[in-house]
Structure 1
Amino acid sequence: MKKIILSAVALLVAANVAQASEQIHIVGSSTVYPFSSYVAEELGATTKFKTPVVESTGSGGGMKLFCAGNGMDTPDITNASRRMKAKEYKKCQENGVKYITEVVVGYDGIALAQSKDTAPLNLTRKQILLAVAAEVPNKEGTALIANPYHFWNEIDASLPHRKITFYGPPTSSGTRDAFEDLTMKAVAKKMDVYTKLYKADKKANKKYKKYHEVRQDGVYVPSGENDNLIVQKLTKDADALGIFGYSYLAENSDRIAAATVKGIAPSPEAVQDGSYKLSRSLYFYIKKSHMDKVPGMKEYIKLFTSEQMIGDDGACTDIGLIALPEEMRAKYRTQAASLTNLKPEDLKK
């Protein structure tokens, strides 16, 4: 089913690119989508270039399309809410997409959001792991069992008797990847019950090295790449938590509020200083072979990396992007302007 959906997305993207051969075509992250779309609209409104076509395919889906080749029926730029993976870089290289430039445009906090009418919820990352993992420690902590928890107070008596439900992104999403990295992997790697299994048989138990298997019994509900749909579900399900980027929380603050993580809510300040632990960088990737073939690419890249867009008082920060420190903005602006080549060793840093 997943392959059919991705094939349909690929056909749609190819059709749109064919129709818009004189336009920049951008795919990828639903989290970066609002910022990329804003820059695209500004480029179309203030220059001679056509407004770029921006599609929300998810970070993983965008990488598949971007790395498919250099043909003009492939995207020029892909947005991502997590860094390109080594295996994606390898696929790009195999398909002739040899020269790629990586740009970081800002920070984002992954929000665990709920209806504003629901009592506040404060969680730890371990409690989040115990709520979403397919396998969790037994009460003695000596072995793993299928996740038995369906109410928060079953995990910790200090939490409310409230049904555990997550509306979250699908596996194609960079937000899903980042959520798993920052909660499940970050916690499981410090828990002997997981790591001992890996050490006992590294080949057979490889998944326990960086454990991130999400339960599939209906507690975690994959809800597509349209984060606004998750917002709508939260207004109808008072128990549920939704997982998406901070900008969607900020945009809908009249209807939803954040659960806190160790007492800290996502905010620009908490993300910038690292006190909010579910934080990540936002990226876009440039296909250099298209730079001289698609009008406006240089201008779009310059606009997106400008202080006007991603500075402390930039237009994108007004709609939820969290600004990088000034020296980092300057670094990535230079990197984008010079089209610095991404190298495989960069992805290990």
Structure 2
Amino acid sequence: MEVTRSKLKGLSNPDARKYVGIVGSSTVFPFMSFIAEDFNCIFSFKTPVVESIESRPEFKIFCSGIRENALDIATSSCPVKEAEIERERDVIIISYTGMSLQIRIKAINLILKRIYLKLYLHILKRKSNKKLWSDINQTLPKTGIEICDPHQNTGTYETLVNFVTHA
């Protein structure tokens, strides 16, 4: 499962603009900002300009063409769709970060996997009245259920929902 993909193309007009323009999802934004700050400490270029918007509009802007104010890099916490790739010929995959999630889920025995996934789906749909893990299964501890999930209008949320519903 691909959770993070990035697309890269050359600077649109190096004479007109001496910085790299990056747009990223709100999930990836803090990491890209951190990397951008270190960028000019290592290289002799200006600090990249990093902005945050939702993934789908970001790809639409990114794929809109090459011009002076065009984006150079787009990052996302959700996979790039085939239609988006078709609009942009030069795609470079930077990393696959979903592997650790897959490995962890595969390491959980089948019963617990089903319990956690079903529970998560119930919580996403706001239909669960379960307050403790033991409400799901008596063998689980009598501790409160706390799930920190991404905000519903993020690419991370979309990716997680797709992963859970297809698991």
2:104 equivalent to 1:104: no
Displacement, 1:170? 2.8
Conserved in 2, the CA contact under 8 Å of 1:125 and 1:183? Answer: no
Large movers: runs of 4+ above 6 Å: none
Q: Distance in 1 between matches of 2:25 and 2:92?
A: 14
Compute the RMSD of aligned alpha carbons: 3.4
**Residue in 2 aligned with 1:89?**
85
Conserved in 2, the CA contact under 8 Å of 1:28 and 1:60? Answer: no
1:208-248 CA-to-partner distances (Å, cap 9, x unmatched) read xxxxxxxxxxxxxxxxxxxxxxxxxxxxxxxxxxxxxxxxx
| Higher RCO (CA < 8 A, seq sep 6+) | 2
Which SS does the other structure have where 2:141 is aligned?
A: coil
Q: Distance in 2 between matches of 1:125 and 1:63?
A: 33
Displacement, 1:34? 4.8
Ranges in structure 2 where 5+ consecutive residues have no aligned partner: 1-15, 102-108
Conserved in 1, the CA contact under 8 Å of 2:121 and 2:164? Answer: no
Structure-2 change in CA distance of 1:150 and 1:65 (3 Å): farther
Ranges in structure 1 where 5+ consecutive residues have no aligned partner: 1-19, 111-121, 136-145, 187-349
Displacement, 1:31? 4.8
2:112 maps to a residue whose letter is: T
TM-score of the superposition, structure 1-length normalised? 0.33
TM-score of the superposition, structure 2-length normalised? 0.61
Displacement, 1:155? 1.9
Identity across matched positions, percent:
30
2:114 equivalent to 1:126: yes
**Residue in 1 aligned with 2:166?**
185
1:157 maps to a residue whose letter is: Q
1:166 to 136, 147, 156: 147
* More strand per residue: 1
2:75 maps to a residue whose letter is: N
1:52 to 31, 48, 51: 48
1:76 to 72, 91, 110: 72
1:81 maps to a residue whose letter is: S
Structure-2 change in CA distance of 1:61 and 1:28 (3 Å): farther
Displacement, 1:25? 1.1
Aligned residue pairs total 140
Q: Distance in 2 between matches of 1:180 and 1:24?
A: 32
